[in-house]
Amino acid sequence: MSLTARIDLDAIAHNTRLLKRQAGDANLVCIVKADAYNHGVVRCVPVMEANGADAFGVATLAEAREVRALTRLPVMCWLWDPSDDIPEGIELAAPTMEHLLRLIDAPFTPTTYLKVETGMHRSGFDESAWDEVFALAAEAEQAGRIRVKGLMSHLAYADNPQDPYTDTQAEQFRAAINRGRAAGLELSCNHLANTAATWTRPDLHFDQVRPGVSLYGIDPIVGAGTGQGASADKGLRPAMSWVADILAVKRIGKGDPVSYGLTWHAPHDGFTAVVPAGYADGVSRAWQPHLQITVRGTRYPVVGRVCMDQMVIWLGANEEGVTAGERAVIFGPGGMSATELAGRIGTIDYEVLCSPKGRTRREYC
């Protein structure tokens, strides 16, 4: 059985170069959390570094340690527990007083970003705490206990450039920078822009930008793209194809049921094909009415219930002569794009990219 996530490293390189140009004078922080959005940090980080990355960003300390071993560029982490052992050589975001005090008490001088709340309402210091936090951080910095590199925050709705909420958040972020500097912090490296704002809001690039999903070829802007996983105006190239080798082709008669629950019956005599990917591998059962598998450039519907290890496609009369062993594209170049699939199933393409798991192996090209 062959189930493969094919990762195009040339596409990763191309997308990194595009984002480096888009960043302008700002540093390019490549976000590689969740194993580089399920593309593999071990192979992706060196490619990004060679094509314009200035730093890397991850969520957890475990991810930070892995990336730290792959590059000499700065590595930033923002989702950690104050009870964790703090490693040297990793830049840590402080979203609460407990995090900040833990950094101040570290046995070395850690580099930190203070995360401020600007409207995401997820994590970060509320405006009512800014003056206290900035004063404490400035005092600790003057004592050599920490190094405050800058402020950071996160945009909630930058993927809809027409919505004014991004401007509201930007105003809050600028106010935080001004108050932090008034408290004695230099704040030389501030960042707010996610992937969407990197593309649409150069006025919000500040000192560095934090693109993620576009590194892997996805346009995050609402309504953007062609439905084929790329946007002509940006020139992004999707890097992941999820493919499988057809396990079997079977003749069935009109009215014959397929898979558990007898939820689908053949409309006429024809052929089915078994694709060895199921919900244990990341193909949700909820995808079944929406997913089309591509073989030889032709799309075929998934019929019957998706199983733990396999799913069935309807070939009809099998005019293309599909046989066992042929490659079937679940999503990606050559088939349904992650963007189109996400739209059909009511989610985002980020989630689709993170879906391949289980017995899926990666293959780089």
Catalogue the active-site residues. 33, 260
Nearest Cα neighbor of 75 from 116, 111, 26, 115 is 111
Q: Are 311 and 264 in contact (CB under 8 A)?
A: no
Distance CA 181, CA 192 (A): 17
Q: Are 47 and 268 in contact (CB under 8 A)?
A: no
The reply, when asked if residue 308 is annotated as ligand binding, is yes
Percentage helix, strand, coil for the chain under 3-state DSSP, each rounded to 5 = 30, 25, 45
The reply, when asked if residue 174 is annotated as ligand binding, is no
Distance CA 143, CA 363 (A): 50
Distance CA 341, CA 242 (A): 12
Q: Where are the alpha helices (DSSP H) in the chain?
A: 9-23, 33-38, 41-50, 61-68, 97-104, 130-142, 165-182, 195-200, 338-345, 349-353
Distance CA 296, CA 275 (A): 14
Pair of tokens at residue 201? 């809001």
Q: Are 7 and 363 in contact (CB under 8 A)?
A: yes
DSSP state of 346: T
Distance CA 293, CA 299 (A): 5
Pair of tokens at residue 204? 């919000």
Pair of tokens at residue 362? 């990666």
Q: Beta strand 3-7 with 361-364: parallel, antiparallel or unpaired?
A: parallel
Q: Which amino acid is at 103?
A: L
Distance CA 268, CA 27 (A): 59
Pair of tokens at residue 212? 């993620």
Binding site for substrate, residues? Answer: 122, 308
